[in-house]
Amino acid sequence: MTTKTVLILGAKGMLGQALVEVFRDDARYSVIAWDREECDVTDTTMLSQAIAQLWPDIIINATAYNAVDACEESDEEYAKAKKLNTEVPGALARNAAQLQATFVHYSTDYVFDGERPTVNGRPAPGCCEQKCKGCQYRGPEETIPYRAYQEIDDPRPLSRYGQTKYEGEKQVAKNGSHYYIIRLSKLFGAPARAEGAKRSFFDVMREVGEKAQRDGTCVKAVDGEISCFTYAPDLAAETKTIIEDEEPRGIYHVVNDGPCTWYEAAKELYKILKMDVCVKPVPPSAFPRPAQRPSSSVLRTTKRAPLRDYRDALKEYLMKK
Ligand SMILES: NC(=O)c1ccc[n+]([C@@H]2O[C@H](COP(=O)([O-])OP(=O)(O)OC[C@H]3O[C@@H](n4cnc5c(N)ncnc54)[C@H](OP(=O)(O)O)[C@@H]3O)[C@@H](O)[C@H]2O)c1
């Protein structure tokens, strides 16, 4: 049996780990997993030499600069983001094209501004059944419009971070040959294997909920920024299938189904965990942050079947923990 060599960069990250697992489970692949210790991808000369020596069939870039707010506040951080999110993917796409390898890169819903005209409606979130003070109950019959972005929609990032990711997409398209740019949003899964790694929303909210229960307080969660969650193992499996199906090169949206606000997602988490936690919806202005986020950035795929509902993926994730 001939095996294909797949090089995974950022292999200790939240997505990188899931990618390593899904390819290592398949004997048709020989997996080379690199993170910062093996190769600093921002040294693009060294990176090109190392890749040329390895000559992989597939290169998957799961490295990331994800500090959305730091990048907005600091020029130094912005420079790091430009390097990792724009220059590096461009160089990798060029390397892959020279070696006739398949190249996969990831991007984000934050390339969009959230102003897409409404194309659909969804049931109201049943805001605060407990009728907490200050909650405007909208009534079950009302629908809240949301804007679903397709792969062909024009990006218009609101933040510096979003801009660096959009520029990265353009670099990959310009320099790449057989490439896939996969956009995702709100990633969750096992945290990256690095000291102080960012935990996903659900891990944080579980801890916040346990504290609220102990203290007898309510958890506040933003009832806005509607988008979809993406479960790292589901995204990793879909990445592998996109490659194996020999899909045409280009942009793909891959997220779990079930658009929701942070508030709705927190309520679902506590419901699944059977935790009796009081959750209050608050507007995004209750948690001011340096970088502007799109108010609505649901990604819809027009190229592949949608992934399972995020609640099913979340149950699986919680069972594994
Ligand atoms: N997380 C989200 O919610 C989200 C949302 C939308 C899109 N995305 C995209 O999804 C992809 C994967 O993100 P993720 O959340 O899995 O990222 P992550 O958990 O932060 O993992 C990134 C990995 O890349 C490594 N890395 C960073 N700089 C490096 C360098 N110079 N050389 C070598 N390795 C380096 C990191 O190591 P260190 O830990 O040592 O830095 C880490 O292991 C990215 O393209 C990201 O933009 C993520």
d(CA 287, CA 264): 17
Identify the residues whose C-beta falls under 6 Å from ligand 1.
10, 12-16, 35-36, 40-42, 62-64, 66, 84, 106, 108, 184-187, 192, 194
The CATH number of the domain where 257 resides is what?
3.40.50.720
Pocket test for ligand 1, best of 20, 35, 103 (most atoms within 8 A of CB): 35
At residue 124, does pLDDT exceed 70?
no
Domain residue limits at 43: 4-320
The whole-number pLDDT of residue 131 equals: 41
Closest C-alpha among 90, 94, 86 to residue 157: 86
Q: What is the pLDDT of residues 277-321, one digit of tens each?
A: 999 999 988 999 999 999 989 999 889 999 999 999 999 999 997
> From ligand 1's centre to the CA of 272, what distance in Å?
28
Quickly tell me which residue has 């210790």 as its tokens: 37
The whole-number pLDDT of residue 129 equals: 41
Query: Do β-strands 307-309 and 256-257 pair in parallel, antiparallel, or remain unpaired?
Result: parallel
> From ligand 1's centre to the CA of 191, what distance in Å?
11
Helix pair 88-99, 44-54: axis angle to 10 deg: 30
The whole-number pLDDT of residue 117 equals: 58
Q: What is the pLDDT of residues 259-273, one digit of tens each?
A: 999 999 999 999 999
Q: Which atom of ligand 1 lies closest to the CA of 192?
A: 19
At residue 122, does pLDDT exceed 80?
no
Beta carbons within 8 Å of 156's beta carbon, 6+ residues apart: 111, 112, 113, 115
Nearest C-alpha to atom 44 of ligand 1 is from which residue?
A: 64
> From ligand 1's centre to the CA of 56, what distance in Å?
21
Residue 121 has a CB neighbour count (10 Å cut-off) of 11
Quickly tell me which residue has 């988008």 as its tokens: 227
Element counts in the chain: helices (H) and strands (E): 10, 16
Into how many domains does the chain fold? 1
